[in-house]
């Protein structure tokens, strides 16, 4: 099996390392940063460079770059992709890249599926990539044909060796709606929370709750800015809900209404139990 990876940052580099650890998989890779690509070659993380000449050797190609870069790569290379090759993107939003990918796949005859590996850390770049990043994680898939079982089995053949526990199938629209809450909103809340002047005085009086809430404040602005903007409709809706809820807490605190505050807190506790079953 030959896998190609476009982009050797945290996600692409971790995919390459995971495949090499699994064994029996030839990995071709490319990165816009020539030094990163050379390092990956020298360290044995990739076997060969992914070029115009080697692209046709790949059974599967992962696009581990931002949506605009993934769309640009597809537009530039769609005509060179053999019909037998499966292309999967790893972008954090799905509507834009799936529209481009499905259209080009239909035009040129290869197979494209949207993808999103549900794993990551607050650092980025090849230097922080690791072979176990995806261990036990889920890989979200947006297939061209929702109920094509053979396609889903084909996708699993390429995805599972990287350590994923399985795949979750959805649509591009549903993915972006859900991810606005489960990931993007959490990053904005964390990033905004740390801006309090009191944050500079936290040492010695902070514990797990502070660490849990601020972990993803340490984000990559260059990556998250286009993802937030592309999914702004869903993200704004979630922000409006949160802002309204925060306003309710502020109101009861200002009024000193202990009974209403208790009810708000208990409501949140019950919802957490209902959502996570714990």
3-state SS of 67-109 is HHHHHHHHHHHHHHCCCCCEEEECCCCCHHHHHHHHHHHHHHC
The whole-number average pLDDT for the span 127-145 is 91
Instruction: Give the integer Cα–Cα distance in Å for 119 and 89.
Output: 15
Q: Does domain 175-276 have CATH number 1.10.3660.10?
A: yes
Q: Domain boundaries in the chain?
A: 2-170, 175-276
Q: Residue 208's pLDDT band (boundaries 50, 70, 90)?
A: confident
Residue in the structure block whose two tokens are 């890249």: 97
pLDDT value of residue 203: 77
pLDDT value of residue 207: 74
pTM, 2 dp: 0.89
| b/e map 125-154, b = 16+ CB within 10 Å | ebeebebebbeebbbbbbbeeeeeeebbeb
| Paired tokens of 155 | 């996708």
pLDDT value of residue 123: 75
Residue 255 has pLDDT above 80, yes or no: yes
| Paired tokens of 55 | 């692209």
The answer to whether the CB of 97 falls within 8 A of the CB of 67 is yes
pLDDT value of residue 213: 86
Q: Residue 205's pLDDT band (boundaries 50, 70, 90)?
A: low
86 vs 29, 65, 75, 111, 131, CA distance in Å? Answer: 16, 17, 16, 5, 22
Q: Mean pLDDT, the chain, as a whole number?
A: 92
pLDDT tens digits for range 186-198: 999 999 999 998 8
pLDDT value of residue 204: 62
**End-to-end CA, the chain:** 42
pLDDT value of residue 81: 95
pLDDT value of residue 139: 96
24 vs 4, 13, 47, 206, CA distance in Å? Answer: 14, 17, 12, 47
pLDDT value of residue 140: 96
- Per residue, the 3-state secondary structure of the chain, as one string, reads CEEEEECCCHHHHHHHHHHHHHCCCEEEEECCCHHHHHHHHHCCCCCEECCCCCHHHCCEEEECCCHHHHHHHHHHHHHHCCCCCEEEECCCCCHHHHHHHHHHHHHHCCEEEEEEECCCCCCCCHHHCCCCCCCCCEEEEEECCCCCHHHHHHHHHHHHHHCCCEEEECCHHHHHHHHHHHHHHHHHHHHHHCCCHHHHHCCCCCCHHHHHHHHHHCCCHHHHHHHHHHCHHHHHHHHHHHHHHHHHHHHHHHHCCHHHHHHHHHHHHHHHHHHHCC
pLDDT tens digits for range 141-188: 999 888 889 999 999 999 999 999 999 999 999 999 999 999 999 999
pLDDT tens digits for range 47-106: 999 999 999 999 999 999 999 999 999 999 999 999 999 999 999 999 999 999 999 999
- Four-residue CA torsion sign, 71, 227, 2, 154: negative
pLDDT value of residue 148: 85
The whole-number average pLDDT for the span 17-39 is 93
Q: Does domain 2-170 have CATH number 3.40.50.12780?
A: no
Residue of higher predicted confidence among 120 and 80: 80
Residue of higher predicted confidence among 179 and 202: 179
pLDDT value of residue 276: 85
Share of the chain above pLDDT 90, in %: 80
140 phi/psi in degrees, rounded to 5: -80, 135
């Amino acid at each position: 099996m030959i896998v190609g990876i476009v982009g050797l940052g945290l996600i692409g580099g971790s995919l390459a390392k995971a495949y090499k650890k699994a064994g029996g998989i030839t990995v071709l890779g490319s990165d816009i940063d020539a030094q990163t690509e050379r390092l990956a070659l020298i360290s044995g993380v990739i076997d060969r460079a992914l070029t115009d000449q080697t692209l046709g050797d790949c059974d599967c190609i992962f696009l581990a770059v931002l949506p605009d870069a993934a769309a640009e790569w597809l537009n530039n290379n769609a005509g060179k992709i053999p019909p037998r090759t499966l292309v999967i993107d790893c972008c954090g939003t799905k509507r834009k890249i799936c529209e481009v990918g499905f259209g080009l796949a239909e035009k040129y005859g290869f197979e494209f599926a949207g993808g999103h590996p549900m794993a990551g850390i607050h650092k980025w770049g090849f230097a922080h990539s690791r072979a176990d990043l995806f261990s036990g994680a889920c890989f979200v898939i947006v297939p061209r044909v929702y109920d094509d079982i053979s396609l889903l089995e084909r996708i699993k053949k390429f995805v599972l060796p990287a350590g994923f526990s399985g795949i979750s199938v959805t649509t591009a629209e549903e993915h972006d709606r859900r991810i606005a809450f489960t990931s993007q909103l959490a990053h904005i809340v964390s990033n905004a929370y740390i801006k309090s002047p009191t944050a500079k005085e936290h040492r010695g009086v902070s514990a797990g709750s502070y660490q849990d809430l601020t972990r993803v404040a340490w984000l990559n602005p260059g990556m998250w800015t286009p993802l937030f903007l592309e999914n702004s409709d869903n993200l704004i809706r979630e922000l409006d809900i949160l802002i309204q809820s925060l306003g309710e807490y502020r109101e009861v605190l200002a009024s000193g209404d202990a009974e209403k505050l208790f009810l708000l807190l208990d409501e949140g506790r019950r919802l957490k139990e209902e959502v996570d079953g714990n």
